[in-house]
Amino acid sequence: MKFKFNYFPFTPRREQDRFLSDARTAINNGEILIAQAPTGLGKTSASLAPAVEYALHNRKKVFFATSKNSQHKMAIKTLRLIKEKFNLDLKVISLVGKQHLCPLITKKVRNFNAFCDVRRDSCKYHNNHKNQTNRAIKEIFDTPLQAEDVKQICMEYGACAHEVLTSIVKYADVVVCDYNHIFQPSIRELVLKGMELKDIILIVDEAHNLPQRARDLLSDRINANVIKGAIEEAKVLEYDRLEGTLTNILLFLRELVTDLDEDDEKYVDKEAFIQEIERITTQKLDDFIEMLHDVGIDVLNLGREFSYIERMAEFLNRWESSNGQFCRYIRDLELCCISLDPGILTQDVFSKVYSGILMSATLTPVHMYTELLGLPERTIEKEYRSPFPRENQFIVVTPDVTTRYVKRSDEMYQKYTDKIVGVVNVTRGNSAVFFPSYEFMNRVFEGLNGQVKKRILMEQPSMTKEEKEDLLNEINGDNSVLLLGVMGGSLSEGIDLSGNLLHSVIIVGIPLIPPNLEVKSLVDYYENKFNRGWDYGYYYPAMNKILQSAGRCIRSESDKAAIILMDERITWDKYRRCLPVGFYGLRLVDPSGSIDKFFEHHFG
Ligand code: SF4
């Protein structure tokens, strides 16, 4: 039975209205909408409102899945507004990873599930949750809350927030959750507890992240340090035989790489590897894994937060169960088991959910995501235009430079330096430059230092959340900063640079990954499956990183910024067609002159 309600809490703008209407139609028809929708369109409200409209009156639940906890905030804020504005009895929960809800830890624990498993029986929060859930539930459902608020409430009741939340999913109308909660089968089972996918409207936010995340969920890798850690644990526990076995496994790994130079890699055959492990351990792999699990628990019972032996068990289990399309290889004593096909996890989910919306500002080309994720026939592909005034952004390509390896030279680095200095020094406000690699960034940095009239801040590899926040604080309130980062790195995605903090963003080169074994395997696999090997496995992922970085500067209708794409290849057809509609009509200029006019016009 279909009902017509309107729970959209704003007056929709033109392009947003299109999205809203498409979302309503898809949900009413039980279809999957996959939408390339630019920043500023208001995707969160335009997807949640029609989903809530339908779910509340048709006995469905909405799952709003995100790749990062930080995306929960906007969804919860929107749901609160919908609930209040339309006076709805709308029950919402925000479900994050168990680790983030556990009051027993203050810092990240590497294998949290194992940590929780060995403590659960004696955990007072666990033992309390059944008695306290009913008391906590009223507060949790009273108004949509962020996960940290729920954690606080549950702590006050002395209950485990994760257990409280997973036990009340069945009463919720909307569950804001992580991708893992819906795409990782064992976690999904725990969360849904008997509910069926056919009763779910699934919204996937920032869906460009889903193919990689699904592959990551299926993939695993260990290195020599894990095995060395496992040997040390066996020694502490005085399991001499196991210590000897693990030492022999480490020797076997070393033998595997004896014919390789540094950074070289080679494929490892799944069955041959299992046979060798069984020869070394003199038992079936399953039995060895089970034994490692048991010993891993002994290690955790010593009070350690992490067990290398348990980690080895997890890896070997993944290796053994990795059926289908995987790339298994070794490099620098790191053994990798990498999934090539995200559809293994996603196809089943999308074929079973009642309806779905996948959305992102960088789903280009939309059809690639439809294919990679194995979306069903009832999928509707849509692309929307940016709601921001075109004159607020100035997008140009600088065609006489390139980061192609064959063209890299002192002269080319100098050319880049000169062009970056030219743009940065005429930018009235902060600038950012994103490079294809740390190596390239460091090389250009040498030349920039002393020439730009701005304070230079540089991204470091693997920055923590706190370090990123510190950096953001430094940019905030300053109007003369040059931020240097790497595409696909810590700063090009996932930090909030809203408030027109950047007035120019320069993209240096194209961040193509050198075609290593993993990339080659992806290309071969996608070529066989979709006849689009190089596009899907090589070019488009690199172009997506460009779009993510370029999207850092224009976050609202009033933001004004210049985006300069510095590489001749952007003008080549195979790269140009990877850009969304907003990038069509690119101008080719040497920007230092024309960009000045843009800033003169907008910033006086
Ligand atoms: S049961 Fe809950 S509170 Fe206890 S260790 Fe596990 S996650 Fe933490």
Task: Please report the pLDDT score of residue 597 as a whole number.
Answer: 83
Q: Which atom of ligand 1 is nearest to the CA of 105?
A: 8
Give per-residue pLDDT as tens, 264-307.
999 999 999 999 999 999 999 999 999 999 999 999 999 888 89
- Is residue 439 pLDDT above 90, yes or no? yes
Q: Per-residue b/e over 162-201, b at no fewer than 16 CB within 10 Å? A: bbbbbbbbeebbbbbbbbbbbbbeebbeebbeeeebeebb
Domain spanning 14-212+343-383, CATH architecture:
3-Layer(aba) Sandwich (3.40)
Q: Is the pLDDT of residue 594 over 80?
A: no
- For ligand 1, atom 6, name the residue with the nearest CA: 116
* 55 class by beta-carbon count within 10 Å (0-12 exposed, 13-18 middle, 19+ buried): buried
1 has pLDDT over 60: no
104 lines ligand 1 (CB under 6 A): yes
Nearest CA, atom 8, ligand 1: 102
Average pLDDT score over residue span 476-494: 84
Q: Where are the beta strands (DSSP E) in 479-545?
A: 481-486, 504-508
Backbone angles phi, psi at 533, to 5 degrees: -55, -60
CATH dotted code for 390-603: 3.40.50.300
Cα(479) to ligand 1 centroid in Å equals 45
Q: What is the pLDDT of residue 328?
A: 97
Q: Is the CB of 587 under 6 A from ligand 1?
A: no
Topology agreement, domain 14-212+343-383 and domain 390-603: yes
pLDDT digits (tens, 9 = 90+) for 554-564: 777 788 889 99
Evaluate: CB of 378 within 6 angstroms of ligand 1: no
Ligand 1 centre distance from Cα of residue 102 (Å): 5
Place of tokens 């339908």: 54
pLDDT of residue 495: 65
Residue nearest to atom 2 of ligand 1 (CA): 160
The structure tokens 């369109």 sit at 41
- Among residues 328, 327, 338, the alpha carbon closest in space to that of 256 is found at 328
Side chain identity, residue 43: K
120 lines ligand 1 (CB under 6 A): yes
The whole-number pLDDT of residue 5 equals: 84
Min mean pLDDT across 18-32, 102-116, 136-150, 325-339 is at: 102-116
The encoded tokens of residue 375 equal: 């979306």
Ligand 1 mean position, distance from CA 101 (Å): 8
140 lines ligand 1 (CB under 6 A): no
Question: Any bridge partners for residue 359, and if so which?
Answer: 35
Question: What is the number of the ligand 1 atom nearest to the C-alpha of 101?
Answer: 7
Nearest protein CA to atom 5 of ligand 1, as residue: 116
Topology classification of domain 220-339 = Fumarase C; Chain B, domain 1 (1.10.275)
Asked whether 560 and 602 are in contact (CB, 8 A), the reply is: yes
Q: Is 361 in the pocket of ligand 1 (CB under 6 A)?
A: no
38 burial class (0-12, 13-18, 19+ CB within 10 angstroms)? buried
Q: Please determine, for residue 411, whether its predicted confidence score (pLDDT) is greater than 50.
A: yes
Q: In testing the pocket of ligand 1, which one of 115, 116, 133, 156 has its CB within 8 Å of the most ligand atoms?
A: 116
Q: Ligand 1: which atom is nearest the Cα of residue 163?
A: 2
| pLDDT beyond 60 at 210 | yes
Tell me, using a 6 A CB cutoff, whether residue 375 lines ligand 1: no
Compute the distance from residue 226 Cα to the ligand 1 centre, in Å: 25
pLDDT of 470 strictly over 90: no
214-250 residue pLDDT tens: 999 999 999 999 999 999 999 999 999 999 999 999 9
The SS3 of residue 170 is helix
pLDDT digit string, tens, across residues 319-332: 999 987 999 999 99
- The pLDDT score that the predictor gives to residue 493 is 67
Assess whether the C-beta atom of 116 lies below 6 angstroms from ligand 1: yes
Give me the residue spans of the domains in the chain: 14-212+343-383, 220-339, 390-603
Alpha-carbon separation of residue 202 from 57, 93, 219, 346, 534 (angstroms): 16, 15, 24, 12, 30
Distance, CA 166 to ligand 1 centroid (Å)? 13
CA proximity to 17, closest of 49, 46, 48: 46
Atom of ligand 1 nearest to the CA of 99: 7
Q: Which atom of ligand 1 is nearest to the CA of 119?
A: 5
Segment 399-408 shows an average pLDDT of 93
Closest residue CA from atom 7 of ligand 1: 102
Q: Is 102 touching ligand 1 by the criterion CB < 6 Å?
A: yes
CA of 215 to the centre of ligand 1 (A): 28
Rounded CA separation 169/191 (Å) = 7
Q: What percent of the chain has pLDDT over 70?
A: 97
Cα of 136 to ligand 1 centre, how many Å? 16
